[in-house]
C-alpha cells in the first residue's frame, strides 16, 4: 500500500523555467511533509519541509505548497538550474505526539534541467 | 562537520551468504536509522535507534536481519542468510533529536547485490 505517491517518475525542464514536482498521500493522519534531494551515488539530503498548519513554505528558490483537502503537495523550483538535476523524494509523517512520526517516502521523481 | 560514514560502498554476495554493513553517525546525533532502498522505490525504514536502544524495528525482517548500536555510536546491520530480494541500497541516517520526522542526515549508502 503506497501511502505516498509520486506519479511522475521523471520530469525535464528548461533551465531558468519553473520546475513543479507533485506528491499525493492517502493517510489523513500525516501532518508533516518533507522533500529530500538525491544525487547519484549519494544519500538523500533534506531540502524543505512543511507542517499541516501551513499551506506554503518558502526557502530561496524552493517553495512547497500543501493542499490538505486534496491530500496533495508540490515543490516549486524557480528558476531551475542545472545543479537541480537530481531525484526528489517526498516524505510524510504523522503526529509525533502519538509516536507516529515514522517517515514514509514516495518513489521519487527524477528531475533533469536542460541547459 | 563530518557526515554520516558508511562502509563498504559496494558489496556483491551470493544468496544464502551473510553480509554486514557499518555506519558511523554524525557526532552527537542521538538517533540512528537504517533504511532499505530497492531500485525504483523510496527508502523504507528498517530500524531506528535512540542512543543504543531500539525505538522502532517493526519493518525489520528479524528472521534474517539484525542490527546493533553498541555504546550509542556506531552501528552494524547484518543479513544472514541473504536472499535475492535483499538487493538494494542500505542507507544509514542520523538525527540530533529522537523524532524521526526531523531533518535526517544520510550517508552515501551501501549498494548490495545478491546473486
What tens digit of pLDDT does each residue of B9-37 get? 999 999 999 999 999 999 999 899 999 99
CB neighbour list of residue B113: distance below 8 Å, 6 or more residues apart: B10, B11, B12, B13, B87
- Between A64 and B52, whose confidence is greater? A64
Q: What does the pLDDT read at residue A103?
A: 87
Check B106 against A106: CB less than 8 A apart.
no
pLDDT score of A21 more than 70: yes
Q: What are phi and psi of A69, to 5 degrees?
A: -65, -35
Mean pLDDT, chain B, rounded, equals 92
CA-based torsion, B91, B81, B59, A75: positive or negative: positive
Q: What does the pLDDT read at residue B102?
A: 74
For testing the chain A interface, which of B5, B43, B91 should be mutated: the one with the most A CBs within 10 Å? Answer: B43
Question: What nine digits make up the cell of A59?
Answer: 526557502
Residue range A54-74: mean pLDDT, rounded: 97
Closest CA to B112 of B11, B9, B6, B39: B11
Residue A98 binned pLDDT confidence (cut-offs 50, 70, 90): low
CB neighbour list of residue A53: distance below 8 Å, 6 or more residues apart: none
pLDDT score of A1 more than 70: no
- Between A99 and B46, whose confidence is greater? B46
Determine the Cα–Cα distance for residues A35 and A25; give it in Å rounded to an integer: 13
> How close does chain B come to A41, measured CA to CA in Å?
6
Task: Specify whether the CB–CB gap between B86 and B106 falls below 8 A.
Answer: no
Any B CB within 8 A of A106 CB: yes
List CB contacts (< 8 A) between A102 and chain B: 45, 48, 56, 100-101
Amino acid at each position: 500500500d503506497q501511502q505516498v505517491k509520486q506519479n511522475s517518475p521523471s520530469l525535464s525542464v528548461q533551465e531558468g523555467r519553473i520546475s513543479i514536482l507533485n506528491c499525493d498521500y492517502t493517510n489523513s493522519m500525516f501532518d508533516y511533509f518533507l522533500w529530500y534531494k538525491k544525487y547519484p551515488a549519494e544519500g538523500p539530503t533534506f531540502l524543505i519541509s512543511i507542517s499541516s498548519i501551513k499551506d506554503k513554505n518558502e526557502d530561496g528558490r524552493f517553495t512547497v505548497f500543501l493542499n490538505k483537502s486534496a491530500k496533495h503537495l508540490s515543490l516549486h523550483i524557480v528558476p531551475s538550474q542545472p545543479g537541480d538535476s537530481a531525484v526528489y523524494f517526498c516524505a510524510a509523517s504523522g503526529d509525533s505526539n502519538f509516536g507516529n512520526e515514522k517517515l514514509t517516502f514516495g518513489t521519487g521523481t527524477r528531475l533533469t534541467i536542460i541547459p | 562537520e563530518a557526515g554520516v560514514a558508511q562502509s563498504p560502498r559496494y558489496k556483491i554476495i551470493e544468496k544464502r551468504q551473510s553480509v554486514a554493513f557499518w555506519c558511523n553517525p554524525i557526532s552527537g546525533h542521538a538517533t540512528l536509522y537504517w533504511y532499505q532502498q530497492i531500485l525504483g522505490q523510496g527508502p523504507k525504514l528498517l530500524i531506528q535507534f535512540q542512543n543504543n536502544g531500539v525505538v522502532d524495528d517493526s519493518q525489520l525482517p528479524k528472521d534474517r536481519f539484525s542490527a546493533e548500536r553498541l555504546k550509542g555510536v556506531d552501528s552494524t546491520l547484518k543479513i544472514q542468510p541473504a536472499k535475492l530480494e535483499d538487493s538494494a541500497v542500505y542507507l544509514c541516517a542520523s538525527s540530533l533529536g529522537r523524532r524521526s520526522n526531523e531533518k535526517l542526515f544520510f550517508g552515501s549508502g551501501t549498494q548490495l547485490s545478491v546473486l
